[in-house]
Structure 1
Amino acid sequence: MTAPNELRLLPWSGPEGKPCYLSTDDQGGYMSRLADNIEAAQLETAALLLEMASQSLDDEDAEPIELCRLGHDLAGALKDVLRVAVSRGHLLTAGEPRRID
Structure 2
Amino acid sequence: MTAPNELRLLPWSGPEGKPCYLKTDDKHGYMSRLADNIEAVQLGTAAELLEHALDALDDHDQGPEDLRRLGKELTGALRDVLRVATSRGHLLAVSDPHRL
- Correspondence for 2:6: 6
Q: Shift of the alpha carbon at 1:97? A: 4.5
Q: Once superposed, which parts of structure 1, at least 4 consecutive aligned residues long, lie more than 6 Å away?
A: none
- Correspondence for 2:52: 52
* Partner Cα distance (2:8, 2:34) in 1: 12
C-alpha spacing 1:66/1:97, structure 2 compared with 1 (3 Å): closer
- Correspondence for 1:36: 36
Q: What residue ranges of structure 2 are gaps of 5+ in the alignment?
A: none
Q: Shift of the alpha carbon at 1:36? A: 0.3
2:84 is aligned with 1:88:
no
Q: Shift of the alpha carbon at 1:68? A: 0.5
Q: Secondary structure at the match of 1:61?
A: coil
**TM-score, length-normalised on structure 2?**
0.95
Q: Shift of the alpha carbon at 1:28? A: 0.5
- Listed one character per residue, the Cα deviations across residues 46-77 of structure 1 (whole Å, up to 9, x for unaligned) are 00000000000000111211111000000000
Look up the equivalent residue of 1:17 and give its one-letter code. Answer: G
- Correspondence for 1:75: 75
**TM-score, length-normalised on structure 1?**
0.94
Q: Percent identity?
A: 73
Q: Shift of the alpha carbon at 1:25? A: 0.8
